[in-house]
Structure 1
Amino acid sequence: MNTPSSGPLSGQTALVTGGARGLGLACVRALSALGVQVTFTVRTPESRDKALTDLADTGARAVVCDITDRPGLAEVLSAGFDILVNNAAVVTPIGRITDLSTEDFAASLDTNVTAQFDAIRLALPAMLARGRGSIVNISSGAAHRPQEGWAAYCAGKAALAMLTKSVHHEYGAQGIRVFGLAPGTIDTGMQGQIRASGINPVSQMPRSALAPAEQPAQMVAWLCTAAADGLIGQELDVRTPALREAAGLPPLT
C-alpha cells in the first residue's frame, strides 16, 4: 500500500465522512496530497471496494459505517483524529412542506445535523488532549437562503452553520479550528437527485454548468493548514474570489 506524500499536514490523521464518491472522495485525495493519513466512511462494502480502487495511490483507509449508527461512529472516532471533515449528508426528502412526512423530515435532520454533532462531540476529546484540531463542516448556500422543496435540507444546513459557530465559541481558545464551507453547485450524485426532482431553479442547471468536486476539496484541505488561521470560526463560500485566490483555485468564469 502506498503512503501519503510529504506535505504541510504530514503526520496528521483525518476522518472524512461519506468518502465513497463525489466531494468526499475528492477530499480524501486532496488531504492525502498534503501528507494526511485519511480514514473515510462508506455505507456499503461495495462502495468501499470501489472507492479504495479509485484511491489506491493515497494509502487511505475505508470503514463501513453509516454516520447515523451511533455505536459504529463512536468506534470509528475512538481512534482519535487531527482533522474531521463532516461531509456525509442527504438532500432528500425533496418536496413542498405539505408533501413531506414528519418521519422523513426528522430522518434528514438526523443525518445532516445530529450525526454531524455526534461526530464533532466524539472527535473533540482527542483534539483537545493534543491542544489542536481542525473541523470542516460542509455547509451550503441553503443554510442562508431557502429553496422551494428543500425545507429539510435548508433547515439542516442552517443548524449545522450555527453548530460551527458554537464549536468555535466554546473551543476556539483551546486550539480547535472549525470552519463551515459551502462548496457551491458541484457535479455529484446529489446534484443528480436535485435535477431529477425538477422542483426549483437549482434543478434546472445543466450538468455542464456544475463545478468539479476537486475545487472545493482543495479548499477543504487548505483550510486545514495554518494558511487559513485568519478564517477560523467562519462560514465560507468556495465561490468567494479572494478566498479562491488564497487557496490556489482558478477564478470563476
Structure 2
Amino acid sequence: MIKAIVTGGSKGLGAAVVSHLINRDIEVTDVSRSGNSSLKENKLYHHKQTDMISLSDSLHFFRSWTEEQTDLTKLYLIQNAGTVQPVETVGSMDPSAIETAIKLNYTAPVAWANLAFELADQQGFELIIVNITSGAAEKPNHGWSVYGSTKAALNLFTETAALEQGDHGHTIISYSPSIMDTGMQEEIRSTNADSFAAVETFQQYKEQGKLRKPEEVGGVLVNILLEEQLKNGKLYHVNDYLPSTK
C-alpha cells in the first residue's frame, strides 16, 4: 500500500500537499502540533501531534509508525516543517531562536531521512523523500542568515544522499515552492525593515497579488511525484511548471 507522511501538514503548503495526496487516494499522516481540522473526518487523513524540534520524540514516533505498517509498499516522506525565524541581522539574533531554526530546518529532516533510509532497507518498501527548500538557499538575503543557510545545507544534504544512492536506491529530491500566500509570508511582511531590508518588496508581493495559493503549489508537487520519472537529487522548482507571478 502507498502511504505518505507530511511534516507540518496542518497549514500552508503542507496542508495543501496533504489534501492533494488524499484526493489521489493516498493515505496521509500529518505530523504537526495542531492537525488539520478540515480533514479530520476523512478516513485517509491521520494526525500525529509531534514537536519536530524534539528529535528523540519525533524519531521515536517515526520508527514506531513505520514498524506498524505491515502493508507498506511505498512511502512518500514530505519534509515540510520549517521556520523563517529568526528574521534578524547577525549580532542581534536570539541564540535560542537560532538553535530552534537549525533543529527544525536542518537537523530534523536530515535525521528523519537517515532513519527512513535504514527502515526502508530493513522492511523493503520504496522510499521517496521530498525536502522543501527555498530560493533563500541560493543567495544571501539581509536578515535571513539562518533561514538561507539551513536551507542551503539541506539542499547539499539532499544532493549528497542522492549521490550515495545512485539511480537504483532510495529517491530524495528538493522542491522549491517560491513565494506563497501563507502564514510564513505574514511573518515576513510584519518584520521591521532594520531586521529584514526587503520587507517592503514582500509587502508589495501581497498588495500586487503576486503570491501563489498553496493549493496550486502543492498540486504541482503532487503531480511531479505521481506523474513524472523522478531524478534523484534534483531540485524541482515550481516556477518551471507555473507562469511567473513577477
Q: Which residue of 2 aligns with 1:24?
A: 14
Residue in structure 2 matching 1:146, options 130, 136, 140? 140
In structure 2, distance between residues paired with 1:58 and 1:224: 22
Kept in 2, the 8 Å contact 1:146–1:154? The answer is yes
Please report the TM-score for the alignment, with normalisation by the length of structure 1: 0.83
Alpha-carbon distance in 2 for matches of 1:58, 1:27: 16
Matched, 1:74 2:68: no
Q: Deviations over 1:162-206 (max 9, x none)?
A: 111121012244431111111010011000000001423353334
For 1:56, the aligned partner's letter is E
Aligned-residue RMSD, C-alpha: 1.9
Q: Does structure 1 conserve the Cα–Cα contact (< 8 Å) formed by 2:26 and 2:44?
A: no
TM-score using structure 2 length: 0.85
Q: Aligned to 1:63, which of 44, 48, 51?
A: 48
In the other structure, the counterpart of 1:252 is: 244
Unaligned runs of 5+ in 2: 67-73
* 8 A Cα contact 1:139 1:161, kept in partner: yes
SS at match of 1:200: coil
What are the Cα deviations for residues 96-135 of structure 1, in whole angstroms up to 9, with x where unaligned? 1121133322221111000111111222223234252110
Matched residue type, 2:19: R
Question: Relative to 1, partners in 2 of residues 1:212 and 1:226: Cα closer, same or farther, differing over 3 Å?
Answer: closer
2:112 is aligned with 1:119: yes
The percent identity for this pair of structures is 27
Q: Give the letter aligned to residue 100 of structure 2.
A: A
Separation (CA, whole Å) in 1 of partners of 2:204 and 2:134? 17
User: For residues 46-95 of structure 1, what are the alpha-carbon distances to aligned partners after superposition, in whole Å with 9 as ceiling and x for unaligned?
Assistant: x22xx133453462100000112223212321222711000000000011
How do 1:122-137 and structure 2 match up within 5 A?
122-128=115-121, 129-130=123-124, 132-137=126-131
Q: Which residue of 1 aligns with 2:81?
A: 88
Letter in 1 for 2:226: T
Q: CA deviation at 1:223?
A: 3.1
Give 1:232 deviation, angstroms.
2.5
Letter in 2 for 1:35: D
Structure 1 runs of 4+ off > 4 angstroms? Answer: none
In structure 1, C-alpha distance between the alignment counterparts of 2:197 and 2:211, rounded to whole Å:
16
Instruction: Identify the residue that residue 69 of structure 2 maps to in structure 1.
Output: none
Query: Gaps (5+ residues) in structure 1?
Result: 1-10, 245-249
Match of 1:193 in 2: 187
The residue number in structure 2 matching 1:8 is: none
| Secondary structure in 2 matching 1:68 | coil
- How many residues in Structure 1 have an aligned counterpart in Structure 2? 229
